[in-house]
């Protein structure tokens, strides 16, 4: 788990010193990085002149946040850099209802036990990125269950519900989309009121005057702005981030259709690293602006590299390094880079079994019994034939003698070589490579 010193190290590494900024406001920073999809009138002037509190809600529908959540998290990091107070809100109350935004069908409701488990994981993840002990503008983490689950229903309807008309709620895009399909339950229809109540409560408790979120949250956020105006006659603001898509049309944050998670037990640092290092050339600079903390001048240098020397993939490497370090830390980045080297002939003995199996998940595999390599072991010649890299022992010998066979990415040219349990990774796996690219994963059962 990260501790405060880790956060400060990250800040130093990313050159996030609060006092050293060439850009006038965080709004300018958001703008050149491509992080603004839309915002309310007057917000730019407010962020240039005042230090404010701003919040983003995080839906606890899973135990871990996914890569798409990294955009709003980074938004809060930028805010804190510029002296504003970030308020991450764990949706312990709204999570019991479910947000209809961007969904075609009704969400499956979580039990209170499931929700508590998810909230625990999300709070730990958010604490990695924000400074909760700053002497000037500490981040404040709250759980909206503290007020949503304790306010009597009749009080809520009298004090909050009376400010909303059904006509206006029906006009919101998230509701209109559902009404054109299978419909929407009253439970999810009420979500807008709950989120608006969040904004009102945070305004009253922390003078919070900005809510940020994904672009599909515009309707919910502006409803909260209207509620604050009606109750207190005050001005509040909204800023929404774009929903990212790759140039190929793939939804950002998904690999082979599956979500990339911020929990290393659900998505390994190696896989996160690979996701970004394999970014398309047409997307890498756009992603670097959003997910790294490099300056505009530094990114311009990488843009020139992509344009003039694309084969070096320097921008891709830097992007993968910065995101992996930000999410998982330096040690995890070092392991991810070590695992990546394996694909290009690096030593396999330096990585763990889980990483090995992930690296070679798409490689043809065979199984052998542990008894086969116990005692004196199995000859490399027999193993090569068993793995299907040679059709006969004679062919296997010629390949080995000719220097064309590698065991654990180490060239072997001794036809008398035997393979034992000591050669395996954690007693479970061996990797054979014929030539440059013909791999076999040998699983020991």
pLDDT one-digit tens code per residue, 197-224? 999 999 999 999 999 999 989 999 999 9
Per-residue pLDDT, 358: 83
For the segment 116-129, the average pLDDT, to the nearest whole number, is 89
Distance of CA 236 to the CA centre of its chain: 29
pLDDT band at 256 (very low <50, low <70, confident <90, very high): low
For residue 86, the 8-state DSSP code is E
> What is the CATH code for 254-342?
1.10.240.10
Per-residue pLDDT, 9: 47
Per-residue pLDDT, 329: 95
Distance separating alpha carbons of residues 79 and 74, to the nearest angstrom: 9
Distance separating alpha carbons of residues 321 and 329, to the nearest angstrom: 10
Task: Name the residue with higher pLDDT: 110 or 365.
Answer: 365
Q: In percent, how much of the chain has pLDDT > 70? A: 92
SS3 90: strand
Distance separating alpha carbons of residues 128 and 121, to the nearest angstrom: 12
**237 and 40 in contact (C-beta within 8 Å)?**
yes
Per-residue pLDDT, 319: 97
Per-residue pLDDT, 177: 79
Enumerate the CATH 3.40.50.620 domain ranges in the chain, comma separated. 4-241
Residue 422 scores a pLDDT above 50: yes
**Mean pLDDT over all residues of the chain?**
88
Residue 425 scores a pLDDT above 80: yes
Residue 350 scores a pLDDT above 80: no
Q: In percent, how much of the chain has pLDDT > 90? A: 62
Residue 153 scores a pLDDT above 50: yes
> What is the CATH code for 359-444?
3.10.290.10
**259 and 67 in contact (C-beta within 8 Å)?**
yes
Per-residue pLDDT, 351: 78
- Find all residues with CB under 8 Å of 249, minimum gap 6, and list them: none
* Topology classification of domain 4-241: Rossmann fold (3.40.50)
pLDDT in tens, 67-120: 999 999 999 999 999 999 999 999 888 888 877 665 555 556 778 888 888 888
**288 and 319 in contact (C-beta within 8 Å)?**
yes
Per-residue pLDDT, 20: 45
Task: Name the residue with higher pLDDT: 276 or 250.
Answer: 276
Task: Name the residue with higher pLDDT: 249 or 245.
Answer: 245
Per-residue pLDDT, 116: 86
Please spell the DSSP secondary structure of 256-306, one letter per residue.
TTEEPBSSTTTS-HHHHHHHHHT--HHHHHHHHHHH----HHHHHHHHHHH
pLDDT in tens, 155-183: 999 999 999 999 988 888 778 877 877 78
Residue 21 scores a pLDDT above 50: no
Residue 41 scores a pLDDT above 90: yes
pLDDT in tens, 312-329: 999 999 999 999 999 999
Sign of CA dihedral 90, 205, 189, 151: positive
Question: Nearest CA to 225 among 49, 70, 42?
Answer: 42
Per-residue pLDDT, 107: 58
Helices (H), 343-374: 353-359
Q: Are strands 208-214 and 53-58 parallel, antiparallel or unpaired?
A: parallel
Per-residue pLDDT, 6: 52
Question: Nearest CA to 62 among 109, 117, 105?
Answer: 117
Residue 340 scores a pLDDT above 50: yes
Distance separating alpha carbons of residues 147 and 201, to the nearest angstrom: 8
Rounded to two decimals, the pTM is 0.81
Distance separating alpha carbons of residues 108 and 122, to the nearest angstrom: 19
Per-residue pLDDT, 15: 47
Per-residue pLDDT, 380: 95
pLDDT band at 53 (very low <50, low <70, confident <90, very high): very high
Task: Name the residue with higher pLDDT: 36 or 182.
Answer: 36
Per-residue pLDDT, 104: 54
Residue 8 scores a pLDDT above 50: no
Enumerate the CATH 1.10.240.10 domain ranges in the chain, comma separated. 254-342
Look-up: residue for tokens 């050293």? 20
Distance separating alpha carbons of residues 212 and 190, to the nearest angstrom: 20
Task: Name the residue with higher pLDDT: 101 or 404.
Answer: 404
Distances (CA, A) of 431 to 48, 104, 359, 414, 415: 57, 45, 11, 17, 17
β-sheet bridge partners, residue 156: none
Enumerate the CATH 3.10.290.10 domain ranges in the chain, comma separated. 359-444
């Amino acid at each position: 788990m990260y501790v405060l010193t880790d956060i400060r190290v990250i800040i130093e590494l990313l050159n996030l010193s609060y006092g050293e900024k060439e850009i006038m406001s965080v709004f300018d920073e958001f703008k050149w990085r491509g992080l603004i999809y839309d915002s309310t009138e007057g917000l730019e002037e407010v962020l240039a002149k005042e230090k404010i509190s701003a919040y983003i809600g995080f839906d606890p529908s899973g135990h871990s946040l996914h890569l798409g959540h990294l955009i709003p998290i980074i938004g809060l990091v930028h805010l804190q850099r510029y002296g504003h107070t970030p308020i991450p809100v764990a949706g312990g109350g709204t999570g019991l209802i479910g947000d209809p935004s961007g969904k075609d069908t009704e969400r499956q409701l979580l039990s209170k036990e499931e929700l508590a488990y998810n909230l625990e994981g999300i709070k730990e993840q958010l604490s990695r990125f924000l400074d909760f002990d700053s002497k000037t503008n500490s981040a404040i983490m709250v759980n909206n269950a503290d007020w949503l689950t304790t306010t009597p229903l009749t009080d809520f309807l009298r004090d909050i519900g009376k400010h909303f008309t059904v006509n206006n709620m029906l006009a919101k895009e998230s509701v209109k989309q559902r009404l054109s399909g299978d419909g929407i339950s009253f439970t999810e229809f009420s979500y807008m009121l709950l989120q608006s109540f969040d904004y009102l409560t945070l305004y009253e408790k922390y003078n919070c005057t900005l809510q940020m979120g994904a672009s599909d949250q515009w309707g919910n956020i502006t409803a909260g702005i209207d509620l604050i105006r009606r109750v207190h006659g005050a001005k509040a603001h909204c800023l929404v981030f774009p929903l990212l898509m790759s140039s190929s049309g793939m939804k950002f944050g998904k690999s082979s259709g599956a979500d990339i998670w911020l929990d290393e037990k659900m998505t390994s640092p190696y896989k996160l690293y690979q996701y970004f290092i394999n970014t398309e050339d047409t997307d890498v600079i756009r992603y670097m602006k959003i997910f790294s903390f490099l300056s505009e001048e530094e990114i311009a240098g990488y843009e020139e590299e992509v344009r003039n020397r694309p084969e070096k993939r320097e921008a891709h490497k830097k992007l993968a390094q910065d995101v992996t370090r930000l999410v998982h830390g330096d040690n995890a980045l070092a392991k991810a880079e070590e695992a990546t080297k394996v694909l290009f002939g690096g030593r396999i003995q330096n990585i763990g079994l889980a990483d090995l199996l992930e690296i070679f998940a798409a490689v043809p595999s065979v199984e052998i019994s542990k008894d086969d390599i116990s005692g004196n072991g199995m000859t490399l010649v027999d193993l090569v034939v068993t793995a299907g890299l040679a059709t006969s022992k004679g062919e296997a010998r010629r390949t080995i003698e000719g220097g064309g066979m590698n065991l654990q990415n180490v060239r072997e040219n001794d036809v008398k070589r035997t393979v034992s349990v000591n050669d395996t990774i954690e007693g479970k796996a061996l990797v054979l490579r014929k030539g440059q690219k013909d791999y076999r994963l040998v699983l020991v059962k």
